[in-house]
Amino acid sequence: MDRIGDFEFDEVDVQGTTYRLPRVNVDGNNSGAIGNRYQTADQYYRNQNDDEEDCKIDPSNTYGADDDNSGPDNDNEEDNNQSVMSKGSRSFKPKANPNNPSRCDQQPRQPTHFIAIPIENKQVIKNLVGLQYKIEEFDNGRSIYEQWYAPETTFHFTICMLPLETADHMQKATNALKDLEPEIQKFLKDRDFELCLKGCGVFFVAGTQDARVLYASLDTNEANSTLIGLTDMIIKKMLQDEVILENELGNIAYDESHDRYLVKFHLTLINSSTHRIGGQMLGFKGRNFASV
């Protein structure tokens, strides 16, 4: 097991390509005070030559290899996506596998790894850390603990969670990604895939008005449609190769009208579930920041 930044990875080699599968943080050991982290990031990026306006995210490098089809382009697509995603916190409707319909009845396994798009643009990272710092100043310790701020080395968009309990499971997942590479390259050819951030949102602690997660949202542009198609392609491959089962998709929604899976893409800035206080998962006052 290796560590890159604040992520731990398991590495798997497939035909000469090394895949790094980031592990789910089950111990809640994020570290660092937001003030110190912001100062470090500010010093690190101070003399970089990044264009101040070049704050787009190029997701061509995903966590996975180290070396779907997109829905219709029309004004109603985003409304349709939102409608599907708002049917409930667990809106995924399992579709029975005709070759093995009993698979959905199996007890779902706990996720151990995930596939994600890491944020590597230095100017984007600096802006996000700057936003964290402003939130810390505004909150002034009233409801947000320092340990809840996501370190800048972990900024990412999750595509899907994977229950890879053994080395064989990890090999199976990386083989699936390797097999999918030609299709992904063909799908992305000549497509706009520069993601833009726009606004913030919150996930709440169940049954309360307190926020559990504050996240940065994606702008609903053409690149967002491309990401939806790419994500659908990856999820379907993981299901096809039984890397993951249908009842293990968690909060991923299924859009029956377009036969595609929809993920609530979010870039976590604050997450109170990473550190329990006194053995309890507490929330924070996040509504004020959701319109930032």
- The C-alpha atoms of residue 166 and residue 285 are separated, in whole angstroms, by 39
CATH 3.30.43.10 for the 2-289 domain, yes or no: no
Give, for all 292 residues of the chain, the pLDDT tens digit.
443 445 687 888 887 788 878 788 655 443 333 444 444 344 433 334 444 445 555 444 544 433 333 333 344 555 555 554 444 333 334 444 444 444 566 789 999 999 999 998 999 999 999 999 999 998 888 889 999 999 999 999 999 999 999 999 999 999 999 999 999 999 999 887 888 898 899 999 888 889 999 999 998 888 888 999 999 999 999 999 999 999 999 889 999 899 999 999 999 999 998 888 888 888 998 877 775 4
Read off the tokens for 219. 């702008």
CA–CA gap between residue 196 and residue 198 (Å, rounded): 7
Give residues with Cβ within 8 angstroms of 62, minimum separation 6.
115, 116, 117, 118, 159
Helices (H) and strands (E) in the chain, counts: 5, 10
Q: Using an 8 Å Cβ cutoff, are 40 and 130 in contact?
A: no
**149 pairs with which residues across the strands?**
270
Token digits of residue 48? 């970089």
Looking at residue 117, the DSSP 8-state letter turns out to be E
d(CA 278, CA 132): 24
pTM exceeds 0.75 for this model: no
Strand partners, 9: 2, 22
Q: For the chain, which residues make up each domain, given as ranges?
A: 2-289
Integer Cα distance of 81 and 203 in angstroms:
18
